[in-house]
Amino acid sequence: MTLTESQQLAYVAAQAADARVNLQFETDDGMTLNIGPQHPATHGTLRIIVRLDGEQVVRAEPYPGYMHRGYEKLCEVRTYPQVTTLVNRIDWLGSFANEVPFILAAEKLMDIEAPPRAQVIRTILFELSRMANVSLFLGDLGIQLGGITIGFYAFRDREFVLNQIESATGGRFHPNFDRIGGLKDDLPKGWIAETKRCMERMRTFCDQFETLVLGNEIFQARTRGIGVIPPDVARSYGLTGANIRGSGVDWDLRRDSVPPGLSYDKADWKVHTHPDGDSFARTWVRLQEVRESTLIVDQLLDAIPSGPVMAKVPRIIKVPEGEAYVATENPLGEMGYYVVSKGDLVPFRVKIRSASFNNISIVPWVTRGVFVPDMVTILASLYFILGDIDR
Amino acid sequence: MPMLLAIELAYWQETAIKVAVMAVLVPTTALILGIVFLFKMMSWMQSRMGPQEAGPRGLLQLLADGVKFLQKEDIIPDAADRFVFKAAPIVVLVSTFLTYVVVPAGPDLVIENLPTGIFFAMAVSSLSVIGVLMAGWASSNKYALMGGLRAAGQLIAYELPLVLAVTGVVIQVGSLSMQDIVWAQATGEIFGWGGIGLPLILTQILAFFVFMAAVQAELAQPPFDMPIAETEVVGGYHIEYTGFRFLFFFLGEFATAFAFAAIAATLFLGGWYVPGIPPDSVWANVVGPIALFVKIMFVSFLIFWFRFTYPRFREDQLQTFAWKYLIPLSLVNITVTGIVVVAF
Amino acid sequence: MPKVPGMVKGLGVTFKTMVDTLKPSGGPVTVPYPHVKEEPTARARGVIALHEDNCTACMLCSRECPDWCIYIEAHKTLAPPRRAGGKPRQVNALDRFAIDYSLCMYCGICVEVCPFDALFWSPEYEFSEVRIADLLHEKERLGEWMQTVPEFEPYEAGSEAKPKKVPAYDPR
């Protein structure tokens, strides 16, 4: 294989950058540990370079970028309907939630509103993807702490949620179901009843998790007081989602500034916060969130209005000139799309604000002086998805 | 042994038979534990069905895995200390083999009835620390070193409650011999009623609890599996081992689990003694191994049940648990047992 | 009543699950895959089937595909007139229609944009190949998938959408 000159230059530059990072960490005395890019605790290819004094962390630096796929740039050469298939892959555990903010931004630019039925179904699917995502987080936290059984329970019960997503959208992981002006299709017959059964199942899972993990004294000893993030620090690092709610900040985009196109106001629910700000608090908040999500879905399933699921939208979508930023409360935190349009078939620029990137930015701060096992706990409780970090 | 075979054997013949029995017994026990608990019970506890393909209902899966390990390339890291790296798994395995020597499976079925049996078992079981430390050091890997040091600290810390828990039993029985301990339980009486003998778990329940916790830590099973915690140190001291060397560690782990379960069954549950069968009859030699096996399976079930349910401790919490709770508890147990034995 | 420690309750959860798995009424949630297969839902996006008669080689699917994995070649030809005595119609005859499943993202945009209902989703998922080049399905293979396409499901109450019809499979 022959490389062009520019490719060679880029390769040399990358090598040099890598060497610089290594040098910077190898010349100090003490032990440097490369956690990742392939390490079970980073669930993916996050590289964290840790300076250790014994087993105590002196300094930890995350080096993301091993899974960079260039979605912001790819979006500039895809038409608006094609973008949803790409952004599905950002946070791959809650894919449907990735499509929604982009579609809402496009709808805002085009000044279209989805019909009420589509809005409600969209919200239901949004919450289902939240459940699929967060329930796996709960299981993964158990795996990280050594209790593998709860991980299997999470995989087992998430499957029921995925089945519901699949039977409505056709895709288990990459639904690609949201469209500008509504949804691709209506729900199949019997879906509502089946989803209600699934919600029962999820609530049982939450109870099991509470008994098996949250109530376990070993788990509490491992997480309580570990990785404490005070509210002001959480704000200054731009944490969002359950991480900031675990620090006691009452902040939820679903309630505070829900963009038009999602109907959270039709359900009666509340935002859970925990004052402690430690790993336990974050886990607790996430568990309550899954519970609350099942309740939201249950209420919305009863409130689906009849009507079409697609507004009148031109067949060839050209978005008028302008720019819009729409953010929603995704499973991992605030996810926003800043879309600039020049009136073309393709967006001129898409800036993706994904939650995990900001959430791991606090790792150097919060892991100072902790032990390696605690670092694993903190990483697991901060909860990141590699695709969401690197995009 | 001579009574059973009714022929006098030369010393070397007897030794050869014993070695052959051990060589078959130890891997078999590891296989049994692996299949019954690691594969089947764990699957059931996780709503799965477990391996299904190899053999009837997947019962030969572990054998297939073992063959797979044998086929794998034997990789030794460049920077490794080659001799120590190769020796480490053997040291671990030797300690496992030696532990089996003193466990009686019947009135006459014992490899070597040492008068200091339980003391010998405790001593050789702690040999594995050296093997683990050798593996961690020789691998020339940071994770392996961390895992090895964690293992060494943990195994040494938990040797103490293990021995102290056994001391309670020894004081009550008045002998270090494993056979004597079983006989004492078989001939014991609960307030004058000798129907089931006197399983020492009734009087030494505290020691049993301490012993089980310490065994869990000795075996490096969750909730005490930091030495091999794969999400922290990625397998710890056996991170660099492949193929049959890894198989040695695996065999060592499960065979040791079986051995410790056997010791626990002998010390606390009456060993090979079955209520209703006089311990001095020939039948005890036939039923004994079966009874011991059933009791071992029960104890192993406990060990693995904890393993599949709990998350793991942190290294310092583990030390705290050992020094602040288990050791004082076992000391209290020894004191109480001593006073009671002397007073009555 | 004293509180039961969480560790003991946790043991109860795993033990109960084991009993549930072993009970005939419960059973494991997994199935041994090659022997027992789970039925995907009717909407599941497994593989794309082509009903060749409906295709007019309009190239819409090929253009809308986000990773451009659909290859279409066609030539113009004259078809016999619809009514007796009419002029012959000019139509596109399909020479090649291929989907490269090693590139396909299974997004379903091609099925959605097809104006003549020539493409359908089939939930069939067992078409893995040893060689990656064999994942390029030509129109004959895509046509064969038509026999696995299920009927469209009826919609949930309150819907205004009408289920479409799946054309009958005609083997060539």
Q: Is residue B31 part of a domain?
A: no
Tokens 């477990």 appear where?
Answer: B50
Q: Is the CB of residue B261 less than 8 Å from the CB of residue B29? A: no
Chain B interface disruption, residue of A222, A367, A375, most B CBs within 10 A: A222
Residue C63 lies in a domain: yes
- The reported pTM is 0.83
Helix (H), strand (E), coil (C) string for chain C: CCCCCHHHHHHHHHHHHHHHHHCCCCCCCCCCCCCCCCCCCCCCCCEEEECHHHCCCCCHHHHHCCCCCEEEEEEEEEECCCCCCCCCEEEEEEEEEEEECCCCCCCCHHHHHCCCCCEEEECCCCCCCCCHHHHEECHHHHHHHHHHCCCCCCECCCECCCCCCCCCCCCC
For residue A29, pLDDT over 70 is answered with no
C30 touches chain B (CB under 8 A): yes
Q: Domain for residue A362, yes or no?
A: no
Assign B195 to helix, strand or coil. strand
Q: Tens of pLDDT along chain B (344 residues)?
A: 445 555 667 778 778 887 887 788 878 888 888 888 888 888 888 888 888 888 787 788 888 888 888 888 888 888 888 888 888 888 888 888 888 888 887 777 777 777 888 888 888 888 888 888 888 888 888 888 888 888 888 888 888 888 888 888 888 888 888 888 887 777 777 776 666 677 777 777 888 888 888 888 888 877 888 777 777 777 778 888 888 888 888 888 888 888 888 888 888 887 777 777 777 777 777 777 888 888 888 888 888 888 888 888 888 888 888 888 888 888 888 888 888 878 77
User: Residue C16 domain-assigned?
Assistant: no
> Does A242 map to a domain?
yes
Q: Which of residues 47-76 of B touch C (CB under 8 A)?
A: 47-49, 52-53
Query: Are B306 and C11 an interchain contact pair (Cβ–Cβ within 8 Å)?
Result: yes
Domains contained in chain C, number: 1
Whether A222 and B311 lie within 8 Å, measured CB to CB: yes
B209 part of a folded domain: yes
pLDDT higher than threshold 60 for residue A235: yes
In contact, A88 and A98? CB cutoff 8 Å: yes
Q: Give a yes or no: residue B55 inside a domain.
A: no
* Chain A residues within an 8 Å CB radius of B216: none
Per-residue model confidence (pLDDT) at position A90: 86
Q: For residue A219, is pLDDT > 70?
A: yes
Work out the minimum CA distance from B61 to partner chain A, whole angstroms: 21
Interface test with B, best of A52, A149, A219, A376 (most B CBs within 10 A): A149
Total number of domains constituting chain B: 1
Is residue A287 a contact partner of residue A206, using CB atoms and an 8 Å limit?
A: yes
User: What CATH number is attached to the domain comprising C114?
Assistant: 3.30.70.3270
Residues of chain C found within 8 Å of residue A118, distances taken between Cβ atoms: none
Query: pLDDT band at A108, cuts 50/70/90?
Result: confident
Angstroms from B51 CA to nearest CA on chain A: 15
pLDDT in tens, chain C (172 residues): 567 777 778 788 888 888 888 887 777 888 888 888 888 888 888 888 888 888 888 888 888 888 888 888 888 888 777 777 777 778 778 888 888 888 888 888 888 888 888 888 888 888 888 888 888 888 888 888 888 888 887 887 777 777 777 777 776 6
- Is residue C136 situated within a structural domain? yes
Give a yes or no: residue C140 inside a domain: yes
Residue among C9, C108, C155 whose CB faces A176 most closely = C108
**Chain B partners of C7 at a C-beta cutoff of 8 Å?**
309-310
What is the per-residue pLDDT for B1?
45
CB proximity under 8 Å: A 80-119 to C: 81-82, 84-86, 88, 117
Identify the contact set of chain B against chain A, taking CB-CB distances under 8 A: 42, 45-48, 142-143, 146, 222-223, 225-226, 229-234, 308-317
Q: What is the CATH number of the domain that holds A158?
A: 1.10.645.10
Give me the pLDDT at residue B2, please: 45
Which tens digit of pLDDT belongs to each residue from B153-185?
Answer: 888 888 888 888 888 888 888 888 888 888 777
ipTM of the complex: 0.81
Backbone torsions φ then ψ of C84, nearest 5 degrees: -65, 135
Which of A58-67, A152-161, C2-11 is the least confident region?
C2-11
3-state secondary structure chain A: CCCCHHHHHHHHHHHHHHHHHHHHHHCCCCEEEEECCCCHHHCCCCEEEEEEECCEEEEEEEECCCCCCCHHHHHCCCCHHHHHHHHCCCCCCCHHHHHHHHHHHHHHHHCCCCCHHHHHHHHHHHHHHHHHHHHHHHHHHHHHCCCHHHHHHHHHHHHHHHHHHHHHHCCCCCCCCEECCEECCCCECCHHHHHHHHHHHHHHHHHHHHHHHHCCHHHHHHHCCCCCCCHHHHHHCCCCCHHHHCCCCCCCHHHHCCCCCCCCCCCCCCCCCCCCCCHHHHHHHHHHHHHHHHHHHHHHHHCCCCECCECCCCCCCCCCCEEEEEEEEECCEEEEEEEEECCCCCCCEEEEECHHHHHHCCHHHHCCCCEHHHHHHHHHHHCCCHHHHHC
pLDDT tens, position by position, A309-327:
888 888 788 888 888 898 8
Asked if residue A29 belongs to a domain, the reply is no
Chains touching B (3+ CB pairs < 8 Å): A, C
Q: How many domains does chain A have?
A: 1
Domain that holds residue C55: 47-148
What is the average pLDDT across A154-181?
87
Of C9, C17, C121, the CB nearest to A215: C9
C34 domain-assigned: no
Smallest Cα distance from C117 to chain A, Å: 15
Domain ranges, residue A117: 79-355
Q: Please report whether residue B26 resides in a domain.
A: no
Contact list, A188 vs chain C (CB under 8 Å): 41-43, 153-156
Instruction: State which residues form the domain around B146.
Output: 71-343
Does B254 reside within a domain?
A: yes
The arithmetic mean of pLDDT across residues A252-259, rounded, is 82
Note whether residue B130 is domain-resident.
Answer: yes
